[in-house]
């Protein structure tokens, strides 16, 4: 199933085609080259003063690290994310300055776009135990967990329980282009 963005003008297919499925093929594992490509894409994001505050911990299904990261997800995310081939913990080096979280988000956007190019799907999750992740993986002081990204292959035939099955089918919605524009003051 695809849910391309409805736009007034055509967008790049990677942008229009990206969405956040929960139906992962649990038999699939991203290749090492694909995972490297995701990190390369993230690495080349812009950042304030080139501080590059993003940090990634890549876990693959079948490893203790993956199981531990999975167990730190919020209950709703554990309903489906365990079928992803990889779970990536994304953190930001808060010592890098005021833009650390902003820059890390840009790196994740790059990573997600590259995932699309690789024929993979990505689903970002803010719902997880941040202190638990920092402790389990021994993150350095000031390196703050931001999101976990589930990466894998889409399987539209997966049966999800509610409310996730409904959300998988629901149209994607956005504010309009007009609504996201601020009025210029005189
Ligand atoms: C920072 C962030 C945190 C998110 N956290 C979760 C989450 O914990 N669980 C979940 O199912 N989706 C999560 N999402 C996915 C969003 O719900 C999703 O991107 C949004 O509804 C728009 O849908 P789309 O990505 O399919 O366009 C998160 C996305 C972002 C960017």
End-to-end CA distance of the chain: 46
**What stretches in the chain show pLDDT beneath 50?**
none
For the full predicted model, state whether its pTM sits above 0.95.
Answer: yes
Residue with the smallest CA separation from ligand 1 atom 10 is 125
Q: Measured between alpha carbons, how far is 97 from 71 in angstroms, rounded to an integer?
A: 31
**Predicted pLDDT of residue 69:** 98
The per-residue pLDDT for 114 is 98
Rounded distance from Cα 81 to ligand 1 centre (Å): 12
The whole-angstrom separation of Cα 170 and Cα 92 is 32
Task: Confirm if 30 and 120 have CB atoms less than 8 A apart.
Answer: yes
Contact (CB, 8 A) for 46 and 103:
yes
Compute the distance between CA of residue 30 and CA of residue 52 in angstroms, rounded to an integer: 25
Q: What is the pLDDT of residue 105?
A: 98
The answer for residues whose C-beta is within 8 angstroms of residue 139's C-beta and 6 or more apart is 55, 91, 133, 145
CA distance 98 to 100: 6
Tell me what pLDDT residue 185 has. 77
pLDDT of residue 180: 97
Using an 8 Å Cβ cutoff, are 22 and 168 in contact? yes
Q: Which residues line ligand 1 (CB under 6 A)?
A: 19-20, 77, 124-127, 147, 172
Residue 111: predicted pLDDT? 98
Give the per-residue pLDDT at 1: 72
Check residue 172 and give its pLDDT: 96
């Amino acid at each position: 199933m695809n849910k391309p963005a409805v736009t007034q003008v055509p967008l790049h297919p990677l942008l229009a085609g990206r969405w956040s499925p929960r139906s992962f093929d649990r038999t699939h594992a991203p290749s090492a080259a694909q995972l490297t490509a995701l990190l390369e894409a993230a690495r080349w994001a812009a950042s304030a003063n080139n501080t590059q505050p993003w940090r990634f911990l890549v876990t693959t299904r079948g490893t203790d690290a993956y199981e531990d990261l999975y167990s730190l997800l919020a209950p709703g995310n554990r309903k489906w994310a365990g079928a992803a081939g990889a779970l990536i913990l994304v953190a930001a080096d808060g010592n890098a300055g005021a833009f650390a979280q902003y820059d890390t988000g840009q790196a994740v956007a790059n990573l997600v776009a590259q995932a699309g190019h690789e024929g993979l799907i990505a689903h970002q999750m803010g719902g997880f135990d941040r202190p638990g992740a920092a402790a389990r993986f021994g993150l350095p002081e000031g390196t703050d967990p931001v999101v976990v990204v589930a990466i894998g292959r889409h399987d539209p035939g997966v049966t999800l329980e509610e409310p996730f099955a409904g959300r998988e089918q629901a149209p994607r919605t956005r504010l309009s282009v007009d609504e996201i524009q601020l009025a210029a003051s005189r």
